[in-house]
Structure formats: structure tokens, C-alpha cells
Structure 1
Amino acid sequence: MSESVLHSHVRQIRYLIFLKDVLVLALTCFGGPQVHLVMFLERFVQKRRYITEAELLELQALCQVLPGPTSTQTITALGFKIGGPTLAYLTVLIWSLPAVLVMTLAALGISYLQQHHISLSFMRFVEPMAIGFLAYGGYSIGSKVIHNQSHWIILGISAVVSYIFPSPYMTPIVVILGGVITSFQYQRLQKLDKTPIRIEWANFFLWLGVLIAAALLGKITNWLPIRLFENFYRNGSLVFGGGQVLNPMLYTEFVEFKQWLSQQEFLTGMALAQIVPGPVFSIASYIGALSMRDDGVFGQLIGSTAASFGIFLPGTFLIFFVYRFWNELKKYRGVRASLEGLNAASVGLTIAAVIRMFMATATTSTGIFSILLTICLLYFTKTPPYMIVFGGILLGILL
């Protein structure tokens, strides 16, 4: 056997072991990006030594400042670093598939119960818990990204505007303006030695082309699966801050604006996403399936598939695009400064959504109690979210 063939076999075995590790994590990673990072460090750095701790933290930092699902982009970027685009695409598929399947089955189960007029009252404690998760998530992000008066002003304005105008068309305006405002404050940041940026534009044009094509096809055909794909692709291209920011954006679009889901259905999905391992963005599969419930089981599967591809593809395209020149791009002070405004505006979106959901849900003592108890458990005890949700379901069944 020649040396080149031997090296090829070694690489293939290494890739298979990596994909097996990705599958193990997809089945065991509960919680958000912070918890995922700990498990990534344990398996990819300490056990397998695919990458150094410093390199993994650098990847995580890059993905936190890009729109899209942070953990998914981090593990996809690692696959890209180890084996190029093919391994990266297989990585995002294996990482997201278990959560997507579970959330799709959850949507099918909700539809079955509704069709047979079976009460969902056993979820009555869980639904308001979702608001508690969202409120605590907004607080956690805000405590990390809100540092000065201009951040507070952006947060306040974005919260007020988003509350008064709960439209998906307002979301990109608020987020982008937040980034533009702080980009002008670049003088206070440290200067770094710059090197010429060499940009490969293929994946950017791929991301933009899919965005435009989906919008045009959705408008022309009015076919619901294409519209679902476009809706989630657009949201996946704009969300900074992970699931805590994605959820209010989806609530605004699918509950308040389009009214394809009821508030009860959406909050149930939010809560269930907390007990599913893998990416929190899998809630898209649940929403996509329920949005096409009138087309039967096959239609719901199509809706779930369209929504899942829509939410995960833009982040994948963008990490492929930015990863190649991030080391040079981050040296520009205007770029670094704009990230502060993007994050502050995202927190404002979360606050506005929490207020709207709270006012609609906290109409009973049970709802208020569930929301406050969830926040207290997360803040004072650090109880894992999936344990809180399981406790809420058990309490609903017993009572």
C-alpha cells in the first residue's frame, strides 16, 4: 500500500471518529452554547486533541459575533477545519438531525392531541416556564454585553420600538441600526496592526443568492414550504445571541404577525426545546410542522424539513465565508465596535418579547407563579432547564 493511500485511509478513519463524536454530543448536549462549549472542550480538546483549547475558544468567539446558531456554527467550523466543506456539511447534518426529529415528533404529537380533542392542560405549568427561560436568557446575555450608557440607550430604544411595532420587518432595521450606531464609537478601542484582507466571496454570494431566490419564489408561488424556508432563512441570517434572541423573533413573526401558531403552542415548543439535546434552533422544525398541520402528516414533515434547512443553512454559509478571513477582519475597530450595538439591540428585542408574552400569559396565579419560580430556580440554584421542564410536566400530570 502506497504512502498516499495509507494517509487517505487514516484521514477517513479520523473523519468517521469525528462524526461519531458529533453524534454522541448531539444526543447528550443539553442546554445552550455555554454548556455545549464545556462538552466540546472535554471531547474535542481533552479526549481527541482535534484542536487546542485556544483554537476552540477562538472559534466559539467568532461564532458568537456571527448571526446564526452559535454551537452549530462552532462544531461546523471545527468540521471545516479538520476535513473541509464535505465534513462540515456532514457535521451540521448529524449534529442537528436528532433534535430536529424529536421536535418534529413533538409537533405531530401536539397535532394528534388537538385533532382528537385531548386536553393539553398537563402543560399548563410548562407554557409560562418558557417565558421564564426567555427572561433569564435575556438577563444572562445583557449582563455580558451591556457595559455603558450608549448600550443602555440602544437596548431601551430597540425594546420600545419592537414592542410598539411587533413586525418581523422591524427586526432587521433595529438590529442593523444598533450595529451602525456603535460602529462610530471605534476610537475608544485599541488599534491593531492590520494586514490586507483577502476575501473569497463564493459562500457570501451563495448565502445572498439563496436569500433572494427564496424571497422571490415565495412571492411568486405563494407555496407555504418555500415561504417557510424563506422566513426561517431570513431569521437565521439576522439573529445575534442564540436561541434567547431567536425565540422572540419567531414569536413576533409566527404568533403575532402571521398567526400560524397560537401562543400556547409556541410556548409549549419553547419549553420542549429545553429538554431536547443539541441545538436550540431545532424549535424551527416544530414551528414548520405545526404551520402545515392542515396538510396532514406528510405536509407537516415537509414543513419541518423546509424550516430546518432554512434556519441552519445561513449560519453554515456565513461561517464558511467569514472563517477564512476573520483574523484580518477583527483587527478593524469599526467592525469590533459594531458588534456591541448588534448585541444590545438583540437584548432589547428579547425584553420586548418577554413583556408581550408576560402580559398575555400572566392572567392567572398559576402562570405568574410558574414564570417567577423558573427565573428563581435558574438564577439561585442553576438547575438544568430540562429538569425544570420535566418537573413542570410531572406537576401538571399530578395536579
Structure 2
Amino acid sequence: MSLRYYIFLKDVLLLALTAFGGPQAHIAMMFKLLVDRRHYLTEQELIELNALCSILPGPTSTQTITAIGFKIGGPNLAYLTLLVWITPAAIIMGIAAIAISYLQDQGISLKFLNFIQPMAVGFVAYAAYMISSKVVNTKTGIVLMMISAVLAYFFSSPWVLPLLLIAGGAVTALRFRQHPEEKDKKIKIEWANFILYVGVLITAAVLGAFTSSLPVRLFENFYRNGSLVFGGGQVLIPLLYTEFVDFKHYLTGEEFLSGYAIVQALPGPTFSFASFVGNLAMRRFGIPGQLLGSFVATVGIFLPGTFLIFFVIRFWDELKKYRVVRASLEGVSAVSSGMVVAAAILLYHPVENTILNFSIVVVTFALLMFTKIPPPILILTGLLLGIVIY
């Protein structure tokens, strides 16, 4: 491996340890380090890669930095890029889950987390506002967002949300004639990574259905969720809450919110939250089981997006010329926004409905909206207040 590749991986590690604030902040830091300082690619190339990853299911910033690795050094460098990017946050979230379960086993109250739970709701509410303000700008989009928010709130089956995304994309795809037509659309498709993606999905589903092995079922659960999330980590949250808190009761609502608040204080991908959820889902098997839970959840959640970016990047320049593809993105984005709105309401349910907690949600939203205080500082402040008071 050339010296240039080592330097690139060192830069990826630097981003993994310092890139706070979610996909938008991650992309800004990628511009600064990978484009302006290192010149690995041009500004336009990074914008196009991020646009591609934004329309694929999976973690947007993770897919973007993986695609950059692919562009620089092919598949091998891309896989190393993925590992370097996701490992720090996944390890920290696994340790956080073990710490929480240890405290519970020792009979130590988790009340010191009381402040960061409503703060997590404030983060999701802010994400809903930011996503909707950027991507929902037509009457059709507003209607789709409202309908999807209501349906996602009242019908909390894990299968409802992906169906809403497909339906939303289909609605706006019908309006493809409003987009200008482009010529010279010749697509040459290499199917290997897509076959891998579908093959793993089917195999995991079959094994999950016919085995009593919890790690196998967890891998299937996270692989399926990673295959169906459009819009990044904020959209993943309602899916995980519905499946693992409401349906399977692997976590309590309070534990889920605590973990989500912690991941907001960490650099790197929000999808690393899967490490926390998988860890607590396996807590009855002790620390080795919890570590296995973190591993299968992390692999499961990140693998689909990796297969898909490797598949699509080879013919993306031609695919985006099709009007139907461009038109469907409006509906997918609007439905994603509605799902995050529903998530903000659902996540408030396990929080005790007091004036204090509601005020914390509002204040968190306002601080994110009107100040430049970094999210980790907000979360650490809430954690320290909880420790001092409780």
C-alpha cells in the first residue's frame, strides 16, 4: 500500500475522532481536510459523491467517505476507510452500554441520565426541523411529510416505514416530466455487489426466521434496517425504537434515549448507535455476549450501505440523468422528514411529562437553533448536571 493511502487513512482516523455534529458537519469537515488541504478530490467530485450517497439507503457520511476511499484506491482502500471511520464510535457506544448495564446490575440508579433523555428528544426535534426545511419545499412534499408523520406515529410496525418511503418516491416519480430530459443515457451495470447485498439480505432473513440464535436474528434485524434507511442516522432512530423498544422490548425507552443522547456527544457516524442497541439486546449473556451483540449490530447496520455504494458508484453519472430517478427523490425526502417528526413525538413518550422535561426539550431545540454551541458540550453539560443533582 502506497504512502498516499496511509496518509489518507490517517486523515480518516482524524475525522473519526473529531467530526462531531452529524452528516452535514461531517461533509463540511471533509471539504476542509480532504479537498482544501489534501486535494484527494475536487469540490465538485465531493458534492456529487455526497448527492449519490444521500439518495441511497444507509449512513450518508459513512458512504461518502467510503466512496472517496474507493475513488482514491479501489475496493481494498474503501474497506479500510470504512473500518477506520466506524470503529472508534462503535467501540465507545459498546462500552457505554456495558457501563449502563453494570450500573443497573449493581442497583445504582440511572437518574443521573434524566437530563440527557429529554435533551435527546430536543436533538431529534431539531433534526426534523432542519431536514424538512431543506428538502420539503413544494405543496406535494408538505402533504407527504404530514401524512407520513401521522402514519409513522400511529402505525409503528417496522415494515410500515419502508413502505411509506417507497410510496412517497412513487408519488413524486409520476411528475418526472417536470424535470429536463438528458441525452446519452447508456448504463453499464456490474451486478456483483448488488447480488452480494441481496444474497446477504435473503440469507439473513431465512436464518433469522428458522434459528433461535439471538446474534443471527440481531444481524438480520440490523441488516434489514440498514437496507431501508434513507436520510441518515436521524431517520434510523424511529426504526430502531419501533423494533427494539416497542416490539421486542430489548431496551427500555429510557435506556434507548440515554444511548441516543450519548451518541450525540461523540464524533463519527450516528449509525454507531447500533452498537449500543445490539449490546444491550444481548445483556443476559454477560459481557462476552454484549460484545458479540455490538459486533453483529455494527456489521449488520453498515454492510448494506457499503454493498450499495460499491454497486452504484460505477454507473451513478449515467443513472442520475433519468428524470424518474430525480423526481422520486422529492417524495423520499419528504417522507423521511415526516418520519423524523413522528420520532420526536414517540421518543418523548418514555420521558416523564413534567414542566422541567418539556422545558429541557424546548431549550435544547432553541440552543441548537440559535447558537453555535457544539452538541457534545450540550450533552456533557446535561450529564454533569444530572450527576451533581442526583
Aligned to 1:114: 104
Q: CA deviation at 1:298?
A: 0.2
- The total of aligned residue pairs comes to 389
**3-state SS of 2:257 partner:** helix
Find the counterpart in structure 1 of residue 313 from structure 2: 323
- Whether 1:33 and 2:12 are equivalent positions in the alignment is no
1:43 Cα deviation after fit? 1.4
Aligned to 1:256: 246
Q: How far apart are the structure 2 equivalents of 1:66 and 1:393?
A: 35
**Unaligned 5+ runs, structure 1:** 1-10
Q: Tell me how far apart the structure 1 counterparts of residues 196 and 47 of structure 2 sit (CA, whole Å).
A: 27
Superposed CA offset, 1:314-339 (max 9, x none): 11100001100011000111001111
Range moving further from structure 2, 187-196 or 101-110: 187-196
Residue 333 (structure 2) pairs with residue 343 (structure 1): yes
Determine if the alignment matches structure 1 residue 308 to structure 2 residue 302.
no
Distance 1:121 1:172 in 2: 35
In the alignment, does 2:387 pair up with 1:397?
yes
Which of 72, 81, 97 is equivalent to 2:87?
97
TM-score (norm 1): 0.96
- What CA distance in whole angstroms lies between the structure 2 residues aligned with 1:275 and 1:183? 38
CA–CA distance in structure 2, aligned partners of residues 217 and 320 of structure 1: 25
Alpha-carbon distance between aligned partners in 1 of 2:304 and 2:32, rounded to the nearest angstrom: 28
The aligned counterpart of 1:61 is 51
| 2:137 counterpart letter in structure 1 | H
Contact 1:211/1:230 (8 A) holds in 2: yes
Post-superposition shift, 1:238? Answer: 1.0
Deviation at 1:195, TM superposition (A): 2.0
| Runs of 5+ unmatched residues, structure 2 | none
Alignment-mate amino acid for residue 226 of structure 2: G
Equivalence for 1:7: none
Q: Is the 8 A contact 1:125 1:366 kept in 2?
A: no
After TM superposition, the structure 1 = structure 2 runs for residues 106-145 of structure 1, keeping only pairs within 5 Å, are 106-145=96-135
CA contact (8 A) 1:130 1:267 kept: yes
Q: Once the 2 structures are TM-superposed, how far is the Cα of residue 146 of structure 1 from its aligned partner?
A: 0.7
> Following TM superposition, by how much is the alpha carbon of 1:394 offset from its aligned partner in structure 2, in angstroms?
1.2
Give the C-alpha shift of residue 362 in structure 1: 4.9
Could you give the per-residue CA deviations for residues 358-377 of structure 1, whole angstroms, max 9, x where no partner exists? 24425112211111110010
181, 186, 192: which one aligns with 2:176:
186
Work out the percentage of aligned pairs sharing the same amino acid. Answer: 57
Deviates more, 1:300-309 or 1:154-163: 154-163
CA distance in 1, matches of 2:217, 2:339: 23
Partner of 1:377: 367
Single out whichever of 319-328 and 377-386 deviates more from structure 2.
377-386
Amino acid at match of 2:164: V
- Alignment TM-score, normalising by the size of structure 2: 0.98
| Correspondence for 2:68 | 78
1:175 matched to 2:162: no
Residue number among 323, 326, 346 corresponding to 1:356 in the alignment? 346
SS in 1 for 2:2: helix
In 2: Cα distance, 1:195 partner to 1:146 partner? 28
Q: Secondary structure at the match of 2:92?
A: helix
Deviations 1:50-95 (A, max 9, x none): 1111111111111111111111001000000011101100100010
**SS in structure 1 at match of 2:58:** coil
CA contact 1:203–1:317 (8 Å) conserved in 2: yes
Show CA shifts across 1:277-317 (max 9, x none).
11111000000000000000000011000000011101110
Work out the CA distance in 2 between the residues paired with 1:58 and 1:176: 23
